[in-house]
Chain A
Amino acid sequence: MNPTSFHVLWLLCAPPALGLLTLVRPPRHGALVLLAGLPLPLVALWLLLGLDTGPLAGQLALGPLLLHWRLDGLAALLWLLTMVLLLASALYAAGYARAAPLDARAYAWLWPLLGGLATGLGLIWIAADLLLLYAGLELMGLCAVGMLLLPGSVAALTAGLRYLLFALVGSLTWLLGIALLLGAWGRLDLAGLAAVAQPDPVTAIAVALLASGLLLKASIFPLHGWLVPVHGSAWTPVSAIHGALVVKASFFILLLLWRLLLPDAIAGALALGALGSLAVLWGGVQAWRAAGLKELVAWSTVGQLGYLMLAFPLLAGTGAAVAALAWQATWLQLAGHALAKSAMFMAAGNLLLATGATRLEGLTGTSRRLPLSLLTFGLAAVTLMGLPPSAGFTAKWLWLQASLAAGQWAWVAVLGLGTLLSAAYVFRVLRCSFVEDAPEPVLRGLPLGMELVALALALAAIGLGLAAAWPLALLPPVSVP
């Protein structure tokens, strides 16, 4: 049996259906729903493996509107990653609700929102149409805001509403961009647009509008201001999925559109690369200075997203060999960081929940008393620092190779400084944990499952570094203009 569009639709609809089921009868159905959700990553994997005959594509007629979608290797890989991470977050959330005092009503709402997020992300991965992309982006954004508001505390509401405001501004600029493109070229499907659109000023302005909206949603420096407060007050499973996937989806769209509409805009690509470099440095410095553990992890996301922005200058106007390297590096970095960051949020959440601390100083002696959480944190950090063996390391190797082969030396310095900065903030945490002569706080016991989910994700990020050949072989080759 080969995958068909019916299976794609099923994979889009199953998560929200399961989520709604849990909402109706919480929390008794939680375990059943989790069990029912276990095959979802397998379905995504099956879709991925079924693509060996070529990508799957189709159209969806909604009245006069014709929506295009397309499932290629990249989309399927990202979908698989999404499903794995969502399932991991859901499993973690089940333990989290037992260990932390959560409002039952709010907790019940987590599940449909997770389901909606899955659909939104799925739409983004497969969309071949600006309208469908917009729908996915909005669904994802609203679900993300909803999940971040769930704690109900003042801090969470303030940060969440600010996030909503930013997201709305981002959506507005996005809509303006779409309107410009529609007015100029008369169509919204990506393949058609790529065929007819000329890189003239209208296209450039439209892409600039789209890009600024997306940069805001992806929290790329200097538009990252909303990210850290949001994570400071969010529930751990929500932070894990948000830091891992939600911000990356906007990056994905930006790269997709840029490659289609402005493949030769080298100056703009360089500017985006420069923004990324500043993000790496600023995020690193802020993470190093952060007082709280969650803030540190959130700032590290700001920095790590910067690496992804190097894709723009290395893909635009460089040779085929360099572009292929940068293409592989981008997706490996994205997947590695997604796995590692959710593992790190979960490990950090475990440490904070068990010790009751929020600041780094509260972690003294944890290497002895919470070894598993700390080990997970350390393993996740290996990927973030780009040390071997890990996806981050292999990606960094590819980034360096691409930069050196392209002769763009500046990125080598950025990658180097980023590595050292991330080592500096990671070892600040580890160093605290090794302190022996400190008062020992009373520890709260955690369900073992919470630790194991985080550990599994961290190990996956490590393993991906050595097994990168498999996903990279499924990746569609980069098209060089």
Chain B
Amino acid sequence: MSALLPLATLASSLITAAVIFMLPEQAVRTRTALNLGAALVKLVLVLWMARGLVAGETYAVEFPVVPGLGFVLHVDELGLTFAALSSILWLFTTMYAIGYLEGSPNRRRFFGFFSLCVASTIGISLAGNLFTLLIFYEVLTLSTYPLVAHRGTPQALAAATVYLRYTLTAGLVLMVGMVALHVVAGDLRFGQQETLARLADGQEALLIGLFWVLLLGFGVKAALVPLHGWLPRAMVAPAPVSALLHAVAVVKAGAFGIVRLVYDIYGIGFSAALGVLDGLVVIASVTIVYGSVRALAQQELKPRLAFSTVSQVSYIVLGIGLFGPLGTIAALAHLLHQGLMKVTLFFCAGNYAEELGIHRIDELDGVGRRMPLSSLAFTIGALGMIGMPPVAGFITKWTLGLGAVQADMPWVIAVLIASTLLNAAYFLPILNRLWFRRGPAQGIGTWPDERPPSRFETSAWLLVPALATALLSLLAGMLAGLPFSPLQWATRVVQQTYQVIPL
């Protein structure tokens, strides 16, 4: 048993944050080197732990905070899934942010809190009990506030305030729920779901109530309808922040919390026995359809992507709610898939805004000719969201469909079809404009705010991350059969942790 690796993983971004706060604002090169170096180190550490976990090692840290309550870091397959996602995407998002914010003020503050934000996602993923999870969950709230408010404009500050109202209230609800659960059942470690099932006699009503209280707490960050109001407004943040918020940090932390709640606290069998999963499926279905419908109505690119996130993250919740191994696999795989695809889309949206000043969808005519590589990446991401093979999103939807059949909930397939049609309805027009409409690139009109042309279609710092994540989402779909693909890893989590053999 090793305590060093989880602590080192956590420290890699915590120390980075502290050092960045101490560096002067002008130390751009040092900061860049530090950011990228730490991101690489963390990625290596996480992969190392994944290798060790497969080889049967255990990694855990534990110390008591007050009598009967411990700070616990415990590495398991599920946590490592989220940790891997955040460390891979941190690397690309950091690269992107370096390019995106070049020459703008307050970069020290930005990158300091950026690192803190990633440190808290790592903490969330490695947390071994609810108390530790809550600690990092709230640190995440605090460290994202300065990122959302970064621009300092009235809109940014208003959006950040709304964000806080939602997340702090949710954090409070979560805390009350967790303390209540603690009073009922003591310090629950993840992976000991039998404890609650054994307690259940005569306390079902209380436990069901607490489940919904905790879900309410996690549901705000996971942007479940009707708790999603903060997410579209937070779009005023700079593009790398949106990418981080939507793909890795905030919404995923909420979804991950729900995964922990169902699988590790209540246990999937017990949750099903309590009858809370049906409610979860209904909420997820409503969110999926509602998010898509609202996305369709957006005329600007980033808000459309934001509502698309509302919809897509609920696939994870849907997969959890489908009581069965395939649903679980789909949920976990989508945690990774959605992250890769959504981050690609936000990178590209940021590229369009930076390079050409494009914010509205109707300004995208003919961009494919001016910025072919970004548009290619965007197309891959969008097709993945629709669920087109061979991009990763197809794997999710296929497995979810199978899971729905397995769970004997055929109406969920109808939800999937409806959502796919809606996805197509809001993404295909964008692709049509990108590639098939004639625009300023062919001499019709002008771009809203074009930057002077550079060597590539835009800065390499902005282009490379978008291409890399697009490539990864393509590979996650095409190579889904290989051992360390998201699908296979998710299957492994389900087999190892929950002793279920899929199909």
Contact = CB atoms under 8 A, between A and B. Distances in A.
A469 B63 contact: yes
Interface of B: 21, 63-67, 69, 71, 105-106, 108-109, 131, 134-136, 138-139, 141-142, 145-146, 149-153, 156-157, 160-161, 164, 168-169, 171-172, 175-176, 179-180, 182-183
A117 B486 CA distance: 63
A431 B157 contact: yes
Contacts of A373: none
A405 B183 contact: yes
A468 B65 contact: yes
A19 B212 CA distance: 59
B438 to A, nearest CB: 39
Range of interface residues on chain A? 35 or more
B169 A420 contact: yes
Contacts of A371: 21, 108-109
A175 interface: no
Given A388-B138, A434-B157, A435-B152, A469 B176 contact: no
A397 B131 contact: yes
Nearest to B151: A436
A185 interface: no
26 contacts: A328-B67, A332-B66, A367-B146, A371-B21, A387-B138, A387-B141, A387-B142, A388-B135, A388-B139, A394-B66, A397-B175, A400-B175, A400-B176, A401-B179, A401-B182, A420-B168, A423-B168, A427-B145, A427-B161, A427-B164, A430-B145, A431-B157, A431-B161, A465-B65, A469-B63, A469-B66
A342 B152 CA distance: 29
A269 interface: no
Nearest to A470: B64
A404 B153 contact: no
Nearest to B182: A401
Contact of B183 (A382, A401, A434): A401
A432 to B, nearest CB: 9
B179 A400 contact: yes
Contacts of B105: 368, 436
A412 B178 CA distance: 13
Interface of A: 328, 332, 367-368, 371, 375, 382, 387-389, 393-394, 396-398, 400-401, 404-405, 412, 416, 419-420, 423, 427, 430-431, 434-437, 465-469, 472
A419 B141 CA distance: 14
Which 6 A-B pairs have CB atoms at the shortest separation, nearest pair first? Answer: A436-B152, A388-B135, A400-B179, A469-B64, A434-B149, A388-B138
Contacts of A404: 179-180, 183
Given A387-B171, A435-B152, A469 B179 contact: no
Nearest to B63: A469
A382 B146 CA distance: 14
Question: Counting chain A CB atoms within 10 Å of each CB, which of B63, B135, B146 scores highest?
Answer: B135
A393 B71 CA distance: 13
Nearest to A423: B168
B179 A388 contact: no
A410 B145 CA distance: 30
Nearest to B156: A434
Contacts of A367: 106, 109, 146
A416 B71 contact: no
Nearest to A417: B172
Nearest to B171: A387
A376 to B, nearest CB: 11
A431 B21 contact: no
A288 to B, nearest CB: 13
A394 B152 contact: no
Given A367-B146, A437-B152, 15 more contacts: A387-B142, A388-B136, A388-B139, A397-B131, A401-B183, A405-B183, A412-B176, A416-B176, A419-B172, A423-B164, A430-B145, A434-B156, A437-B153, A468-B65, A469-B66
B135 to A, nearest CB: 4
